[in-house]
Chains A and B, each alone.
Chain A
Amino acid sequence: DAGITQSPRHKVTETGTPVTLRCHQTENHRYMYWYRQDPGHGLRLIHYSYGVKDTDKGEVSDGYSVSRSKTEDFLLTLESATSSQTSVYFCAISESEGGTVNTEAFFGQGTRLTVV
């Protein structure tokens, strides 16, 4: 299995509090992603990173920020959590660069976040 660790695996937090989720990889892959998964939806991309300090927005980035200060760590922060951010969050990694398709993405086990 690819070396991806998400922490925490479960978290309950109150509305309005900041929350940070961590994704750690041991594969030295260039690309890292944060997705969220809600009932009735597939996974939706929040943010991604294509290198240290290089990040960009995905489909559902409002209310989220990310940082990548080291190759192995990608942090997702909810500055002020809302109930609509209750979800399961997945981190993924891949080595694909632009135009390279013979690759696969590896996913973490997920973090279940509940905002009350």
Chain B
Amino acid sequence: DAKTTQPNSMESNEEEPVHLPCNHSTISGTDYIHWYRQLPSQGPEYVIHGLTSNVNNRMASLAIAEDRKSSTLILHRATLRDAAVYYCIASYSGGGADGLTFGKGTHLIIQP
């Protein structure tokens, strides 16, 4: 898996959009960008993943830079329940023999 770099923590206000950045300058052409989040005292949960094009789902949007060296996870309207550690992972597979390589992630704090 390619190395990823994320800010240690970020703070945002409830009901405002949140943009979580991730740098992955050594990503290979076949690596997907996966985002997981971990709520307090829970296991990680899948958020979104993509390869080149921007992706949307019910939880979030993923914006991928044209050169793929960075990406941004967008929470359109943060709620208190979105307070979690967010992990960005650059990996060929979401599972398989390699599993997932987690860094330290970004601790997202949501202020009411």
Contact A106 B46 (CB under 8 A): yes
As a 0/1 sequence over residues 49 to 81 of chain A, the CB contacts with chain B under 8 angstroms (1 = contact) are: 010000010100000000000000000000000
Q: Which of A31, A35, A43 contacts B95 (CB 8 A)?
A: A31
Contact A42 B96 (CB under 8 A): no
| Chain A contact surface mostly | loop
User: Does B100 sit within 8 A of A, measured CB to CB?
Assistant: yes
Cα separation A71 to B109 with both chains bound (whole Å): 39
Name the A residues within 8 Å of B36 (CB-CB).
105
Interface size band for A: 20 to 34
Q: Which of A45, A99, A102 contacts B99 (CB 8 A)?
A: A45
Of B16-24, B62-70, B73-81, B86-94, the one touching chain A? B86-94
Contact A42 B43 (CB under 8 A): no
Contact A96:B103 (CB < 8 A) given known A101-B32, A107-B45, A109-B42: no
Nearest neighbor of B46 in chain A, beta-carbon distance = A104
The smallest beta-carbon distance between B98 and chain A, in angstroms, is 8
Cα separation A107 to B44 with both chains bound (whole Å): 6
User: Does A84 sit within 8 A of B, measured CB to CB?
Assistant: no
The smallest beta-carbon distance between A55 and chain B, in angstroms, is 11
Contact A103 B99 (CB under 8 A): no
List B9-55 residues whose CB lies under 8 Å from chain A.
32, 34, 36, 41-46, 49, 51
Q: Which of A41, A101, A108 contacts B92 (CB 8 A)?
A: A101
The residues of B with any CB-CB pair to A shorter than 8 Å are: 32, 34, 36, 41-46, 49, 51, 87, 92-97, 99-105
The residues of A with any CB-CB pair to B shorter than 8 Å are: 31, 33, 35, 40-45, 48, 50, 56, 58, 90, 92, 94-110
12 other contacts beyond A101-B32, A105-B100, with CB at 8 A cut-off?
A41-B104, A42-B105, A43-B102, A48-B99, A92-B43, A92-B99, A95-B95, A96-B94, A98-B96, A103-B95, A105-B94, A107-B45
- 17 A-B residue contacts at CB 8 Å? A33-B95, A33-B99, A42-B102, A43-B44, A43-B102, A45-B100, A48-B97, A92-B43, A98-B96, A100-B96, A101-B49, A103-B95, A104-B46, A104-B49, A105-B36, A105-B99, A110-B43
